[in-house]
Structure 1
Amino acid sequence: MSLNYKFPDGFWWGSATSATQIEGAADEGGKGKNIWDYWYQTEPNRFFENVGPETTSNFYHQYKEDIQLMKEIGHNTFRLSISWSRLIPGGRGEVNPEAVAFYNNVINELLANDIEPFVNLFHFDMPLELQEKGGWGNRDVADAYRDYAKECFRLFGDRVKKWFTFNEPIVPVEGGYLYDFHYPNVVDAKRAVQVAYHTMIAHAKAVESFRSFNIEDGKIGIILNLTPSYPRSNNPADLRASNIADLFFNRSFLDPAVLGEYPQELIDILREHGQLPFTKEKDKDLLKENTADLLGVNYYQPRRVKAKEHLPNPYSPFMPDWFFDNYEMPGRKMNKYRGWEIYEKGIYDIMINLKENYGNIESFVSENGMGVQNEERFIENGEIQDDYRIDFIKEHLKWLHKAIEEGCNAKGYHLWAFMDNWSWMNAYKNRYGFFSVDLKTQKRTPKKSAHWIRTVSGHNGF
């Protein structure tokens, strides 16, 4: 078979997920409560069709058969997260032996099937007791996180070589402290900035701890949702708007994680508006000395912006949106189910930026995917014909291939997600998986894309 797009040897084919979104067993196995368990108990109406995190996709009980299915479709890598509230209920103190057994079993099962586990330590799921003490707004929580990370390296570092401190750390900042789409539903930019800053301090402390373990071939990094900010035009006002959006939503984590320092322009804007965080003297060195080895890139859609049409309301809370308006480009290609633009070249632009401005850090596409509602409309002969997903993946892979050909240090592609999973407030509204999940029976059924990806990973290209 002649391939138009051949990927480098050892390319990472796989998928990604998180503990809260697939494990279920929210009250089993000695697990403590996290903010999602609590928020669902108090405001179930904020979740699509009132579906909460207690059952999700039942990976806690079905991991063996799921890993078997991963192997069948050619995965050689798989990213999962550890639930902090499962491993250390309450976030501090004793390790829960049932959780240790569960994660050991999952890691061993993956390795037995020649699938390398990529382990992420935090995916939006703060233990409730620590949120009650202020969450990432409280610097002590960064120390508790470092202790949790240290336990993970100690328990699993003999087998897990690829570690990540955070997934999309900007999302709890935006959702929890700016735009009211995650608990604790605070709207306060100064607190948001402090939360973002302490998250990076926690990251650096975990990296420092990881290095003290001297894990052979071990690498530690972070996973960022990088969303290129495209200006409406080359007008200086539009360019300034896109630059500031980029500072807030991309460089606020990318620069400290990879370069070890914050962009001066961002510091200046925050200072001018009285939004700077509290810092400690030695923080600068801590960040500078503990940068990421490896960068996961989550990419779903571009951000298009233009200069503000109107001055911000002087009585409104400070927001990044004071500096730009979102721009709906005429003729853009849309995923109408999610309301997101599809722009495959974005993945190439991200990789070129990493090559030119971030030392060509070793990276991979850690999430990319297409969520579609009511996929049962597309069932033929018992199988969802998700050609739209195959096209989506294929077109992104073509641009990723071009970036690699031009010298970008990109090592793999992980789809979100292996199987349909529970999504924060949307629950099971949009489906993303290679496998569909029947919520009543928990039965997994391959979609057309599962067979397609098996062929692609088998040939290391298409």
Structure 2
Amino acid sequence: MGDNLMQYQFPDDFWWGSASSAPQTEGESLGGAKSPTVWDHWFALQPGRFFQQVGPQDTSTFYRHWREDIALLKQTGHNSFRTSISWARLIPDGRGDANPQAAAFYNQVIDELLAQGITPFINLFHFDMPMAMQALGGWENRQVVDAYADYAAVCFELFGDRVRHWFTFNEPIVPVEGGYLYDFHYPNVVDFKRAATVAYHTMLAHASAVRHFRKSGQGGEIGIILNLTPSYPRSQHPADLAAANHADLLFNRSFLDPALRGHYPEELIALLKRYGQLPASQPGDDELLSGGIVDLLGINYYQPRRVQCRINQVNPDSPFMPEWLFDHYQMPGRKMNPWRGWEIYERGVYDILTNLRDNYHNPRCYISENGMGVEDELRFLRNGSIEDDYRIDFVREHLIWVHRALAEGSRCLGYHIWTFIDNWSWTNAYKNRYGLVQLDLATQRRTVKKSGRWFADAARNHGFDEDAR
């Protein structure tokens, strides 16, 4: 591209990078004195629930290849990188002293990132509850909330002299949906009241970690990463608008409002009261939540949510579920990812940023995940490299909308793709590949894809031309 001004130019200090997580990349799932997480436990119980019976021990081996992988981060233009610390690795019993092997590993990773000029963004929890804590009830138990706060304090003490960007949770609604509503995560419960309790306690844990961070006085900033999925109504009919509002309350504002405003929407509280689903609170909770307002919001965006009013009557004897309040809607003519089955709607990222600007005082934020999964990606292998023009188009079109939001005053500070290297993805294992770097599972060989080369050019030039591939 050279040094000429790009058609879509981003600030010189814009964050270009990617996101990952400990349970999806580290490997050594029961090595290095790490204790089992819910994923290790569930895989041992029901390996058939996992694609091709590939479990959490078979990830992209970052625990062994971290130095090589960080060199590839540098090669692909990263100036920042988000990963997570494994609670079960750092504090195997959930509470108590830090595991020296884990502390040494994370210190090495942080130091090497900094040595390569890559700013570490560290997340404290990415769906990986230690079984020692799940045995107590997980997020249903306030003792686990306290244990998580203590774990966070240990992290700040061990690594806070170098880590300046902390996050309490990634997509905290996913364990709620997966574990307590829709049966795609352990413990495979279908019970809205328990789900609401898990969600509420998660935000108490978040606020407790924020309190510890600010008491530490180490500087830097702390935030949370939310998957914000705009809820688009089928029409402007009042019933469809109400359905979209209910979906927004349950799936977006249930975490967004306490994170940015320090309290829950009164409308959400009234809704849960009406259906007898409000979780129990205790004195002091409101004060704790009010202190949990974040310094920085991470935004994960993949696809929109399209909804309509219910077209059939609810069975009153069925368990209460979010779908009592809306139906999903498949919009005719929508643009699709043919290899993943998800809608592609690039404007959604702009709508999120505009909503934050107009309704939440324009917080400091960044796109913390955005990416395109593709099944059987080896079909696009040409001359030893994956020619993933589709991924380049996906990223570029989303960034064009980010650029527009910036021009209109958004305080969006960066863009992180999901993900750097093809990694293990929960029950889907390696079914869908997302990486800028191809991982050969048999040999563990890493090969930069065409998208990785494009991303490096965009990052180094602080932008791109619309048709650049």
Give the counterpart letter for 1:20 in structure 2: P
1:150 aligns to 2:163 (yes or no)? no
- Tell me, in whole angstroms, the C-alpha distance in 2 between the residues paired with 1:280 and 1:12: 40
Aligned to 2:467: none
5 Å-filtered alignment, 1:43-442, equals 43-216=46-219, 218-442=220-444
Instruction: Give 1:27 deviation, angstroms.
Output: 1.5
Spell out, residue by residue over 1:413-450, the C-alpha distance to the aligned partner (whole angstroms, 9 max, x if none).
Answer: 00000000000110000000000100111110011001
Displacement of 1:269 after TM fit? 0.8
Query: Aligned to 2:183, what secondary structure does the other structure show?
Result: coil
Please give the per-residue CA displacement for 1:189-224, whole angstroms capped at 9, x wherever unaligned.
0000000000000000000000011123x1000000
User: What is the letter of the counterpart of residue 328 of structure 1?
Assistant: Q
Partners in 2 of 1:338 and 1:91 — Cα distance? 36
Q: Give the structure 1 partner of residue 41 of structure 2.
A: 38
Q: CA RMSD in A?
A: 0.6
Q: 1:325-384 CA distances to partner (integer Å, 9 max, x unpaired)? A: 000000000012221100000000000111111111100000000000111111111111
Cα deviation, residue 73, structure 1: 1.2
The unaligned stretches of length 5 or more in structure 2 are 465-469
Q: Hey, what's the Cα distance between the residues in 2 that align with 1:312 and 1:138?
A: 31
Which runs of structure 2 are paired with 1:2-13 in the superposition (5 Å)? 2-13=5-16
Deviation at 1:2, TM superposition (A): 3.4
Matched position secondary structure for 1:335:
coil
Amino acid at match of 1:198: H
Q: Secondary structure at the match of 1:305?
A: strand
Counterpart pick for 1:19 among 15, 18, 22: 22
User: Does the 8 Å CA contact 2:210/2:291 hold for their aligned counterparts?
Assistant: no
TM-score (norm 1): 0.99
CA-CA distance at 1:280 after TM superposition: 0.9
| Deviation beyond 3 Å, 4+ runs, structure 1 | none
- Rounded Cα–Cα distance in structure 2 between residues aligned with 1:149 and 1:278: 24
* Secondary structure at the counterpart of residue 414 of structure 1: strand
Normalising by structure 2, report the TM-score.
0.98
Q: How many matched pairs?
A: 461
1:436-455 correspondence runs (5 A)? 436-455=438-457
Contact kept, 8 Å, 2:258 with 2:292, in 1: the verdict is: no
User: CA–CA distance in 1 between the matches of 2:258 and 2:425?
Assistant: 28
Output the amino acid matched with 1:287. Answer: L
Equivalents in 2 of 1:128, 1:315: separation in Å?
A: 34
Partner of 1:340, secondary structure, is coil
SS at match of 2:357: helix
Partner of 1:53: helix, strand, or coil? coil
- For the residues of structure 2 that align with 1:288 and 1:149, how far apart are their CA atoms? 19
1:420 counterpart letter in structure 2: D
